[in-house]
Structure 1
Amino acid sequence: MPGMNLTRDEAAARASLLDVASYDIELDLTGSDRVFRSRTLARFSCSEPGAATFIDLVAPAVTSVTLNGAELDPAAVFDGTRITLERLAADNELVVVADCAYMNTGEGLHRFVDPVDGEVYLYSQFEVADSRRVFAVFEQPDLKAAYTFTVTAPAHWEVVSVSPTPAPEVSGDTGVWRFAPTPRLSSYVTAIVAGAYAAVRGEVVSRKGSLPAAVFCRRSLAEHLDADVILELTQQGFTFFEELFDRAYPFDKYDQLFVPEFNAGAMENAGCVTILEDYVFRSRVPEAAVERRAVTVLHELAHMWFGDLVTMRWWDDLWLNESFAEYVSHLAAAEATKYTQAWTTFANTEKTWAYRQDQLPSTHPIVADINDLEDVEVNFDGITYGKGAAVLKQLVSWVGHEEFFAGIRTYFAKHAYANTTLADLLVELEASSGRDLAAWSGLWLETAGINTLRPVLEAAGDGTISSFAVRQEAPEGWPTLRTHRLGIGLYDLDGGALTRRRYVEVDVDGERTEVPELVGEDRPDLLLLNDDDLAYTKIRLDERSLATLVEHLAAFTDSLPRALCWAAAWDMCRDAEMRPRAYLDLGLAGVRTETDSSMVRSVLRQLETVARLYVDPGHRAQAGRALAEGTERLLRGAAPASDAQLQFARAFASAARDDGQLALVRALYEGTEQVEGLIIDTDLRWELLHRLVSAGVLGDAAIDAELQRDNTATGQRHAAAARAARPTTQAKAEAWAAVVDRDDLPNALQSATIGGFATPGQEDLLRPFVEPYFDAIEHVWATRTNETAQNIVLGLYPTLLADEELLARTDAWLEQASAAPPALRRLVLESRDGVARALRAQARDRQEG
């Protein structure tokens, strides 16, 4: 649609012209189930009276537009996404009345009807630029203003926003909630959440005193809501962050709302955080998921200072929000909660994500060049989150913890309720640390790519190290060699344990860095670069260390060095330096004794990738059998009721392939066989059924029966995925039509259908959709909202085929579609890279040794 893609230049021009004071927004949510009435009164000044600009609004219809008392013709000034405003005065009042649309895509004001009880639930999601779907607004982060919301809704609803919830004015079945004005905020962190939510009300102790804090979810999920755990974690975060930042929480209450059909993990609306409803655990989940939820809660709380109180001027500096929140949320988890191993989780999840993203052809500097909204929509990635946080962790190590946060405290004090750029932050960090950060910023924030470090050592006849150096490499496309502060650990096998004998910290700079401190040391059984995970870099193991790792991975007594070794081995496999079948053997052996839940989950996912994509096609059946047999052994050998047992059960269900294995899956599903300690609860039942359906063992009748047992929103998602996974041409055609040819599926059902469509083992059924995919994606990109378009473009790309034919067809599209939107081309390029990497791994797998 015209005007949807605001450019950086347009935003800068508008910001130089306008100063926005306030918005009074009235929303009537009591009428149609398709649209709602929105009235906006915007007050703003113009530095050049007589000039023209525009205000953003995405709505099916505009009833009236009044500028400074003069009625404007909506047909003349509104194009569907913007309202043109001409002959502005020095001080202006604009009133816009519109019918805005409820969304089912997780953007704007999302509307959901609970299949359990028929109750309606609404929530807003405004990042990046979707507040304009709810009210008329100058939609850019640096035009902050105060917001006053008035909401008319059914009287039995809960209505929540940024300001504390007032008592409603009730008349019959209708209530009116008049919220107090907010502080000055960017529009994307304002919020409205409304519906028949269940609430658990509590409080948090702040430097301000006792503040209201509540946790919400749908009524039909309330029995599963562990609000006490969420509130305890929130209090731990409040105490930690207020002390760390030396600044009180900036708002007047803190609500957290678990909402349905949410696209992301959570969103940092000021004092009104929305969180993925899947984090209300109705079935048993791995401890990794519980820890992920904890870090998410802390991440959003950190945003109240970094993102909401102080906000980036434009989306180039999105990393200022996300990298900082990602870093301090792990810091808080490790130092203020029971999740003391949070940095291990960070190493094997966030950093692995970052390493993967940084090796794609679309890699970009942490401080990205964001030309328009389409650029930023695809930039919520591993670099903005994981790499940025890792680099901040490295910076803290370099300048010092106290010095770093002294600069942060000054930054908050100086820029509260305002907007900033990277330069504003560096000024304060340079002042507090006494270091010139220009060179550091240039190397780490303003250039892309990841370095690889390799140990280069020689041993004397007596087994001591005669020379030792670290060699640094950079990819051809991003040749920057950086300075790294890192640790080197020397580990020996002692009584069955790998114990660190020596640790040194060094500065690696340039192509080769000598480390004389290690000359004369006995050569260790395992030498680990980047021990303690201070640096952002890929590492390699020398031959002796790799041999030790393969035989004695479980001998590490600490989780962090073990995680770093897992990551090194996985990198070597992804980079075709380790034979994929060798990694499969290593993973199946090592994960048996792995005690870290997040690591177990990561390794099991990696093994699935290896068996299905990286192993040479000629040996893939053998690899599939090895994975299925290996995960069955892991399941049967796991401690009853353990976290590992649950994860092994899920992995086995996914990998099962021969008649005997599928018979076991069916027996577990039907309850005719039990594994001691393993409870087949609602969601595990669905996972077992999904595999049985995708293998053709069970079909529609079983899906219908299971849905009757679990006719909930989650059950409907599982059923949609299972139907799309049926191994028939008709099932694939129906799923394709539901996602591509029609646009009426809600976002959650769309994602589930895509997931079922792309089922491993059904490659022959997927091949006929290659051409339709490339024929459809430009139209999809032009006609769908950003979230749904990204889901389709990424989810339906036929990665599972991973052959030369698919690579060539992708290249042909990229050449033919040279004028396609850059964001779309980026997603296709990233998918292509996955295929090219798989082909390199397959070639390595064909080699002996």
Structure 2
Amino acid sequence: MPGENLTRAEAEERAALVAVESYDIALDLTTGDEVFRSTTTVRFTATEGASTFIDHISRTVHSVTLNGTELDASAVNDGVRIQLDGLAAENELVVVSDAMYVNTGEGLHRFVDPVDGEVYLYSQFEVPDSRRVFAVFEQPDLKATFRFTVTAPAHWQVVSNQPTPEPTVEGDTGTWAFEPTPRISSYITAIVAGPYTVTRSELTSSDGRMIPLGIFCRASLAEHMDADYLFDITRKGFAFFEAQFGVAYPFEKYDQLFVPEFNAGAMENAGCVTFTEAYVFRAQVTDAMRERRVVTVLHELAHMWFGDLVTMRWWNDLWLNESFAEWASTLATAEATEWTGAWTTFQAMEKTWAYRQDQLPSTHPIVAEIRDLDDVQVNFDGITYAKGGSVLKQLVAWVGLEAFMQGVGAYFRKHAWGNTELTDLLTELEAASGRELGEWSRKWLETAGVNTLRPRLTVTTDGIITDFAIEQTAPEEHQTLRPHRLAIGFYDLDGKVLRRTERIELDVDGEETQVPQLVGHLRPALILINDEDLAYAKIRLDEQSTQTALSSLSQIEDPLARALVWGAAWDATRDAETPASDYVDLVLDNIGAETESTTIRLALAQLAQAARTYVHPSRRAKTIEKVGDRLWALASEAEPGSDAQFQFVGAFAGLASTPAHVAVLRSLLDGSRTLPGLEVDTDLRWQLLDGLVLNGAAGEQEIAAELANDDTATGRQFAARARATIPTPEAKEAAFASVADEAGASNLIVRYTGLGLQHVNDASVLTGLVGRYHDAIQQIWDSRTYQIAEGLLTGLYPAVVANEELAAASRAWLEANESVPALRRIIVEHLAGVERALEAQQRDA
């Protein structure tokens, strides 16, 4: 990583000197397994006589020719930048190089399918990685047209941002000459190549154009690709966004490609979106995962307008790209698809992520200070995505949905194919809504931290409210009090159902907001502030509402209201306000009646965290045993074939801890025990085997046998996780060394190894890695790309140890190492998690 950074100041200086017209990029993908030939011709204007640089990370630069003069490549190229001196007013630069394939998901990723030996390639360029494929002015405000010419095996599919042309074929080799793109930023260009299987369709856009559609995946996964469903969601998304934005889809075609070993969920390359293969369902998955795929499809589609057509000038507005897509995709999912409960999912997942991130020492304003590329990398976080999306939801409540969409449409039309800053959007929203947003922006976007809202009420002996107010507090480190648009809901029992009987909506601001509308009303069983989840704030319940919620959580009729109560209970546990053991009991007593898949999924994950790291160590083993017993009972009692049954079985496998649990897992795996409606498919077999390995009841022999039956990319990832799960210090050390000491493991093998390493019931097997980890931090950071380094430093951190020794080791490292801010932030966040766990353990005592 050293030497690959780019500062904002450098980018601003370069943008003042240079305007780029076009790139012609020729890639020869037939030159071997390690490198490919890259020839870039860039045409640009510049301040005459100026000097600047172009970015290119390569193995070898063969030649650099500027305005017809060949430069000394060894003198002007340092492997990251190519120096350009004495520029003319009009310039043509030609760079010929050997660029490198990667297996880290940063640049042009090369994957060999273990099933059939076929090679698959795809690009991933956000944030700064198109420079790993061609010479480029790598910053979002230097837009240009891009013309790709690709030479590859003739039987391959080759896909880019523009429609794929017919190749010119000579023997076994084809050459595809694409038309130029519109003016776009380099990070959303794309190349995907390989023997992908494709399904094609089309739709008619709002301006009458026929838009070709394609869905691609590896041949060995094609039988599992449900293309018709994805086309249906895509059509619904097109219709919804074009109607809401008042702007037709801006590109010529729309391909969606599911690619191997992808680092993220998806990437919004213009007209050429790439997705993780986890969204190709080769086995049963939760309804939560199915819904998440729909949200992701619509998230990337929203980016075609917000991000691709109109792009941020610099990465400090990255949040706006991602927040808008997150908010807009949830709205589209809720209103245009069968997943009408998407806002409940948003509350459970995005809001929980945002609140957690916003309470870390590393929290930052939504509009973060982005000094350089390192800052960008670490700001792909819960503030950028989840808090930003939550605050946009609050903004929509503040100005009104109709006015918000009018402003957004005007913004797209005014700034099409250009670069913008936050103020450009706020200007259009103010014009559409009539609301002044400067103060709103300052408080919400330029300050960090999350507020807490509490009801305060006085009630007579016969239950009549005589005073009602909402109190707002802020954390000591971030003392801003913010304006909130929110609803208050009153809930009472109607038979066996807790149902909303009254709702009011109001603006809340300052330390206290009086609510005279509720004076004189009969106090209900449950008062829920932030009903319908309009505001971004932690909420607390009054004492009577808390008792109602804890005793009747499963009886709350509205899934979103339930999700808010689930969230408040978890938040109080994380803040050590209530004992973790109480949260464990709350989940075990109520989760069986929960209907929302994502709420179940999240509560089960939090249950595992509470049992393993928040419960006091003296009762941890008994708690894990109790959890395992109850999860198996819940699985046995669940509706046959239901999503809940499937989730309870998986959670049971992950938390099994006794000989009785092992016997159940073994019998499910060998088929001697069945649950009505439960299919033990390939992926579930790996989960059950993991549970056996966790308890020392299976090991390398069984893992190897399972892998022999599933020698696929996914099977190899599961096997890496299972090997790292073996509960001995020796196995944990071997897993650690396999990725930390030896370069070459792919990004997903790193990730799955980390998952297995952390999968323990007895954390003492990891204590030997505490020192080992801290000794390796700097070497890992210095020797790996950002994605691999971050994956290693997160996955290998022995967080589940959660004791004072681990906290002390991390504090000592931070005190002794004045390293780059991006690296320090990773360790600071790990330490904060341990300190929070220690506080929770003390409260649980």
Q: Which moved more, 1:503-512 or 1:470-479?
A: 503-512
Question: Does structure 2 conserve the Cα–Cα contact (< 8 Å) formed by 1:106 and 1:261?
Answer: yes
- Paired AA for residue 234 in structure 1: T
Does residue 1:116 correspond to 2:115, yes or no? yes
CA–CA distance in 2 between the matches of 1:503 and 1:29?
62
CA–CA distance in 2 between the matches of 1:730 and 1:603?
33
CA–CA distance in 2 between the matches of 1:732 and 1:507?
53
Aligned-partner SS, 2:698 = coil
- Once the two structures are TM-superposed, the CA of residue 767 in structure 1 deviates from its matched residue by 0.9
User: Deviation string for 1:721-776 (max 9, x for gaps)?
Assistant: 11121123332222122111111111111111121122222422211111121111
Instruction: After TM superposition, list the pairs within 5 Å mapping 1:217-232 onto structure 2.
Output: 217-232=217-232
Tell me the residue number matched to 1:830. Answer: 829
Tell me the residue number matched to 2:241. Answer: 241
- Paired AA for residue 698 in structure 1: A
Tell me the residue number matched to 2:515. Answer: 515
Does residue 1:470 correspond to 2:470, yes or no? yes
Tell me the residue number matched to 2:397. Answer: 397
Tell me the residue number matched to 1:431. Answer: 431
User: Deviation string for 1:346-384 (max 9, x for gaps)?
Assistant: 010011100111000010111110000000101111111
User: Deviation string for 1:584-608 (max 9, x for gaps)?
Assistant: 1111111110000010101101100
- Once the two structures are TM-superposed, the CA of residue 2 in structure 1 deviates from its matched residue by 5.2
Instruction: After TM superposition, list the pairs within 5 Å mapping 1:273-672 onto structure 2.
Output: 273-672=273-672
- Once the two structures are TM-superposed, the CA of residue 400 in structure 1 deviates from its matched residue by 1.3
Aligned-partner SS, 1:592 = helix
Question: Does structure 2 conserve the Cα–Cα contact (< 8 Å) formed by 1:2 and 1:79?
Answer: no
- Paired AA for residue 304 in structure 1: M
Tell me the residue number matched to 2:214. Answer: 214
- Paired AA for residue 19 in structure 2: D
CA–CA distance in 2 between the matches of 1:600 and 1:699?
30
CA–CA distance in 2 between the matches of 1:625 and 1:757?
21
Aligned-partner SS, 2:22 = strand
Does residue 1:161 correspond to 2:153, yes or no? no
- Paired AA for residue 495 in structure 1: G
CA–CA distance in 2 between the matches of 1:471 and 1:629?
41
CA–CA distance in 2 between the matches of 1:762 and 1:793?
22
Tell me the residue number matched to 1:74. Answer: 73
User: Deviation string for 1:464-494 (max 9, x for gaps)?
Assistant: 1121111111000000011111111111111
- Once the two structures are TM-superposed, the CA of residue 510 in structure 1 deviates from its matched residue by 1.0
Among all aligned residue pairs of Structure 1 and Structure 2, give the percentage whose two residues are the same amino acid.
Answer: 60
Question: Does structure 1 conserve the Cα–Cα contact (< 8 Å) formed by 2:396 and 2:404?
Answer: yes
Tell me the residue number matched to 1:256. Answer: 256
User: Deviation string for 1:200-259 (max 9, x for gaps)?
Assistant: 011122124221101000000000000001100000000000111111100000000000
- Paired AA for residue 602 in structure 1: L
CA–CA distance in 2 between the matches of 1:2 and 1:790?
15
- Once the two structures are TM-superposed, the CA of residue 176 in structure 1 deviates from its matched residue by 0.3
- Paired AA for residue 460 in structure 2: A
Question: Does structure 2 conserve the Cα–Cα contact (< 8 Å) formed by 1:205 and 1:235?
Answer: no
Across the aligned residues of Structure 1 and Structure 2, the Cα RMSD in angstroms comes to 0.9
Query: Which aligned runs of 4 or more in structure 1 are off by greater than 6 angstroms?
Result: none
- Paired AA for residue 152 in structure 1: T
- Once the two structures are TM-superposed, the CA of residue 786 in structure 1 deviates from its matched residue by 0.5
- Once the two structures are TM-superposed, the CA of residue 804 in structure 1 deviates from its matched residue by 1.2
User: Deviation string for 1:752-805 (max 9, x for gaps)?
Assistant: 112112222242221111112111111211110010010011111111111111
CA–CA distance in 1 between the matches of 2:727 and 2:363?
36
Aligned-partner SS, 1:591 = helix
Aligned-partner SS, 1:470 = strand
Tell me the residue number matched to 1:150. Answer: 149
Unpaired segments of 5 or more residues in structure 1? none
Question: Does structure 2 conserve the Cα–Cα contact (< 8 Å) formed by 1:204 and 1:234?
Answer: no
- Paired AA for residue 69 in structure 1: G
CA–CA distance in 2 between the matches of 1:571 and 1:283?
33
CA–CA distance in 2 between the matches of 1:792 and 1:654?
22
Tell me the residue number matched to 2:85. Answer: 86
Q: TM-score, normalised by structure 2?
A: 0.99
User: Deviation string for 1:250-298 (max 9, x for gaps)?
Assistant: 0000000000000000000000000000100000001000000000000
Question: Does structure 1 conserve the Cα–Cα contact (< 8 Å) formed by 2:450 and 2:537?
Answer: yes
Tell me the residue number matched to 1:738. Answer: 738
CA–CA distance in 2 between the matches of 1:754 and 1:835?
17
Does residue 1:686 correspond to 2:686, yes or no? yes
- Paired AA for residue 277 in structure 1: E
Tell me the residue number matched to 1:60. Answer: 59
Decide whether aligned partners of structure 1 residues 329 and 669 sit closer, same or farther in structure 2, where only a CA change above 3 A counts: same
Instruction: After TM superposition, list the pairs within 5 Å mapping 1:800-819 onto structure 2.
Output: 800-817=800-817, 819=818
CA–CA distance in 1 between the matches of 2:516 and 2:673?
61
- Paired AA for residue 307 in structure 1: G
- Once the two structures are TM-superposed, the CA of residue 509 in structure 1 deviates from its matched residue by 1.2
CA–CA distance in 2 between the matches of 1:616 and 1:23?
60
- Paired AA for residue 33 in structure 1: D
Aligned-partner SS, 1:349 = helix
CA–CA distance in 2 between the matches of 1:173 and 1:385?
45
- Paired AA for residue 525 in structure 1: A
Question: Does structure 2 conserve the Cα–Cα contact (< 8 Å) formed by 1:333 and 1:339?
Answer: yes
Tell me the residue number matched to 1:788. Answer: 788
Aligned-partner SS, 2:704 = helix
Aligned-partner SS, 2:767 = helix
Unpaired segments of 5 or more residues in structure 2? none
Tell me the residue number matched to 1:188. Answer: 187
Question: Does structure 2 conserve the Cα–Cα contact (< 8 Å) formed by 1:66 and 1:72?
Answer: yes
Q: How many residues align?
A: 844
CA–CA distance in 2 between the matches of 1:761 and 1:265?
29
Q: Which moved more, 1:356-365 or 1:505-514?
A: 505-514
Question: Does structure 2 conserve the Cα–Cα contact (< 8 Å) formed by 1:3 and 1:82?
Answer: no
- Paired AA for residue 393 in structure 2: K
- Once the two structures are TM-superposed, the CA of residue 40 in structure 1 deviates from its matched residue by 0.1
- Paired AA for residue 842 in structure 2: A
Q: Which moved more, 1:746-755 or 1:359-368?
A: 746-755
- Once the two structures are TM-superposed, the CA of residue 501 in structure 1 deviates from its matched residue by 1.5
Aligned-partner SS, 1:351 = helix
Tell me the residue number matched to 2:37. Answer: 37
- Paired AA for residue 277 in structure 2: E
